[in-house]
Amino acid sequence: MHFESRPLTALGLAFGLWAAAAPALAQAPAEAPVDDQDVADILDALTHDAPAPQAAPIRPQGAQSMNPDLSFILDGSLAGFSRTPDQRGGHDPSKNGFNLQQLELSVRSVVDPFWRFDGNLVFSQYGVEVEEAYATTTALPHDLQLRAGQFLTRFGRLNPTHPHAWEFVDQPLVLGKFFGGEGNRGLGTELSWLSPLPWYLEVVGSATEAGGASTARSFFGGQDLGVQGPLDLQYTGAIKQFFPLSDAWSLSWGLSGATGPNSSGRSNRSDIYGTDLYLKYRPATSGDPTVIGLTCEALARRRQVPGAVLGDMGGYASAFWKFDPSWAVAARYESVTGTANDPLDPEWTGGRQRASANLTYWPSEFTRIRLQGSADVRRWVSEPTYAAMLAFETVIGAHGAHAF
């Protein structure tokens, strides 16, 4: 990954989807109550997907590098289910035996003094897809930043990240049900602004296409009715805040909302609201590997359909404890409601709960092995579905190492 010499750009690249915040942070006035440790905490609290900072490339005057930073990230697993599973994530293990969850090719490069480019291509056993491809400004004034292209919207905490940044092998149920197996994304543009308030507060707004069965299923989804006016786009807004509670504790809190048309009729709309909370403990003591993270995310959805208004909600809470430089454990509980006469999920008429736990081992900064078990209780199915997964992940290339 290339970084420009300006600190604004370096932080922006390090955050990935959280890039909009970093440049403005780097330009904060000297009297702002955010020191270097706070910046590090923000990096950890706001995203798991931040590549490690690197020095800006030095190019000969008048020359243009034609070699962007490349990396490959492989996620695979061996899975077993007690009965036919109903996994909702596009990269989840979904069958007994071996599963290729994804092979991601990440491409990143500075374009010029004003733009940088990020792209992620995902290979599976059945083809290749452009997961993200967008350009980001690096020099807008007034702590503003613009993205244009195809990108994951910054709704909530987990949606903007990629599977290799997750603490669990599979996607939370509520994200798959509301947005689709690939998470909420689309072609469009996004503008973000970091406020000058005494605490970290970022405001994000985006407009994207509302089609895509696996990326916008609450909106046009797989039945794209096309764009005839501004109301035929999906609009997403978010507020991101960060509070350094002490040298060891930090808290991030976000509010998100998305609205757009749905496929039940051109005048019918879907609205999704969400909030997310992340509390992290990381002692400042040198040599102490302890990291504790508590995450909660809740979403509520309202959809207009012919003759009715449907409503459902869901969320998850998880805890992560890294007790050794190479070992960690995590647990997660999920609950998602259902509604009768739902054209998207006609069988999902009642509540669904899933509990998961895993043990993670990092042989190095570039590989990760996880053993995960779960019990999935669907009210409309007579027996729970039990699952066991052994997942392996490895990273090569310019992608930043995961936390070690």
Give strand pairing partners of 132. 120
Whether 6 shows a pLDDT value over 70: the answer reads: no
Instruction: Give residue 32's pLDDT band: very low, low, confident or very high (50, 70, 90).
Output: very low
What is the per-residue pLDDT for 56? 44
214: tokens are: 């696996």
> At a CB cut-off of 8 Å and minimum separation 6, what does 352 contact?
173, 334, 335, 336, 337, 338, 376, 377, 378, 379
pLDDT digits (tens, 9 = 90+) for 177-191: 999 999 999 999 999
Q: Which residue has the tokens 């599977």?
A: 163
Q: Between 72 and 27, whose confidence is greater?
A: 72
pLDDT digits (tens, 9 = 90+) for 143-164: 999 999 999 999 999 999 999 9
Distance CA 277, CA 298 (A): 9
Give strand pairing partners of 204. 192, 238
What average pLDDT does the chain have? 86
Q: Which amino acid makes up residue 323?
A: F
Cβ atoms of 17 and 175 within 8 Å: the answer is no
What is the per-residue pLDDT for 265? 87
CA 96-337-304 angle, to 5 degrees, is 115
381: tokens are: 């199915």
Rounded to two decimals, the pTM is 0.82
- 289-301 exposure pattern, b = at least 16 Cβ within 10 A, e = fewer: eebbbebbbbbbb
Give me the mean pLDDT over the 304-327 stretch: 96
Instruction: Give residue 125's pLDDT band: very low, low, confident or very high (50, 70, 90).
Output: confident
E strand segments, 12-114: 69-81, 97-112
164: tokens are: 């290799």
Whether 16 shows a pLDDT value over 50: the answer reads: no
Q: How many residues can be counted in the chain?
A: 404
Whether 7 shows a pLDDT value over 50: the answer reads: no
Give the SS3 label for residue 17: helix
Distance CA 7, CA 12 (A): 8
What is the per-residue pLDDT for 287? 82
SS (H, E, C) 293-324: EEEEEEEEEEEEECCEEEEEEEEEEEEEEEEE
> At a CB cut-off of 8 Å and minimum separation 6, what does 253 contact?
241, 243, 275, 276, 277, 278
What is the per-residue pLDDT for 284? 83
Distance CA 399, CA 50 (A): 9
What is the per-residue pLDDT for 42? 53
Whether 1 shows a pLDDT value over 50: the answer reads: no
pLDDT digits (tens, 9 = 90+) for 201-230: 999 999 999 999 999 999 999 999 999 999
**What's the farthest any 2 CA atoms get from each other in the chain?**
69
Rama region for 12: left / alpha / beta (φ>0; ψ in -120 to 50; rest): alpha
Q: How far is CA 63 from CA 2, 58, 112, 399, in A?
A: 15, 10, 12, 24
Distance CA 330, CA 321 (A): 6
Whether 8 shows a pLDDT value over 70: the answer reads: no
276: tokens are: 């997310």
Whether 276 shows a pLDDT value over 50: the answer reads: yes
Cβ atoms of 111 and 98 within 8 Å: the answer is no
Whether 377 shows a pLDDT value over 60: the answer reads: yes
Distance CA 346, CA 286 (A): 54
What is the per-residue pLDDT for 4? 37
Cβ atoms of 311 and 342 within 8 Å: the answer is no
Whether 295 shows a pLDDT value over 50: the answer reads: yes
Distance CA 46, CA 320 (A): 15
Q: Which residue has the tokens 């109301």?
A: 231
Cβ atoms of 349 and 341 within 8 Å: the answer is no
Of the segments 34-43, 118-127, 249-258, which one has the largest average pLDDT value?
249-258
Helix (H) or strand (E) holding 179: none
Give the SS3 label for residue 21: helix
Rama region for 236: left / alpha / beta (φ>0; ψ in -120 to 50; rest): beta
Instruction: Give backbone dihedrals phi and psi of 394, rounded to 5 degrees, phi first.
Output: -140, 150
Cβ atoms of 78 and 98 within 8 Å: the answer is yes
As a whole-number percent, the residues of the chain with pLDDT over 90 amount to 76
What is the per-residue pLDDT for 38? 53
As a whole-number percent, the residues of the chain with pLDDT over 70 amount to 82
